[in-house]
Structure 1
Amino acid sequence: MQEFISTLTIWALPVLLAITLHEAAHGYAARHFGDRTAELAGRISLNPLRHIDPMGTLVVPALILVTSSLAAGSAMLFGWAKPVPVNFGRLRNPKADMLWVAAAGPLANLAMAIGWALLFRLAVLISDSEYAIPLARMADAGMQINAVLMILNLLPLPPLDGGRIAVSLLPAGPAYKFAQLEPYGFPILLLLLFTGILGDILGPLVAIFRFVLAIVFGL
């Protein structure tokens, strides 16, 4: 139990920030390109309570942490928040602007991953401090969760951000047909998760991203 509480303390802030800022970024981008739906719904906010999905933000990450602690191993932590409402028809140039609105979330995760990498580097520099190890563990968690969320959301599967980016880039005809997959996207994602295929896809990509961060920031 003590190990679980320690792990939860380390992961809580990185997870909340990663999920909250990802969703808020979609809302800011949508407003910039002409859609105020998220703003009017009060979802352009840095308040985590406005974005928390009880299952995706709390239950699923906690279960992963519990099972990982009990198994004395490590698991790929991920979760999700309530999607920010976007009316793509209200964007000034719906098909083109969809790309930037969709990309805003993963870009926010990329920025946070870089920020946590810098904090990890700081922890290395102050290694004699009593705060160095907790800071390093939290920064490592921050890099991990943001890498997972960024890469997961870039998978070309509607309604993930990567699927919307693909719809934006494809010609009108194929884009329309591809968008029809959206109702099946989440069941497909769950199938990939429970069969282990999702982990097989994300694992190497996350490892490569972490390796690049290590090279760039000398971690």
Structure 2
Amino acid sequence: MRELFLSASVPQPEGGRFFDDADPFLIQFAVRELVTAVLGRRKIIFGGHPAITPMIWAVCEDLGVSYAAGVVIYQSRFFTEWFPEENARFCNVEYIDGVPGDREASLLCMREAMLSRAALDAAVFIGGMQGVMDEHAMFERFHPNANMIAVSAPGGAARELAQQIPRVGQPGHPDIDFVRLFHERLNISSNEPRL
């Protein structure tokens, strides 16, 4: 099964400019629509985030798609005390050893393990803060010819990314027809069966 990388988070107040223009409702809506369009048709690879993991778990439940078949979560052991409880429901979490006392080095190790997967052929960036920018740069380094989409309407780092890199952004003005966006840009038919 082909694989898609999801980089998403809901910006926090310390996110500065990324927080100021972010719409948490639209971020959640876009993530839900992406997962609904993709789940069981492509394997979703993502770094476990306390705001995103529960959303993906809920869509798996709603659609009756096996977690193991649908997603792979990467998690740095550096963040063990903040793991969302949904981690326990996914049997396919890839735990990456953290670097003691070094948050940034721990994130780098996890991202390198996650983004070096050979089967990744697309990435979607939604909301987020500096981590979305970092993940885009690393994804592009590992997969320079992959399909990439920065969803601008919900704001956050993905909006800035869409403005900086036109081939990654949405054509025209920011649109909230996420269903159409994901089906068209990821070339996934709504009739494509789910595994």
Is this a same-fold pair by TM over 0.5? Answer: no
Identify, as 1 or 2, the structure richer in helix: 1
What is the TM-score when the length of structure 1 is the normalising length?
A: 0.24
What is the TM-score when the length of structure 2 is the normalising length?
A: 0.26
Identify, as 1 or 2, the structure richer in strand: 2
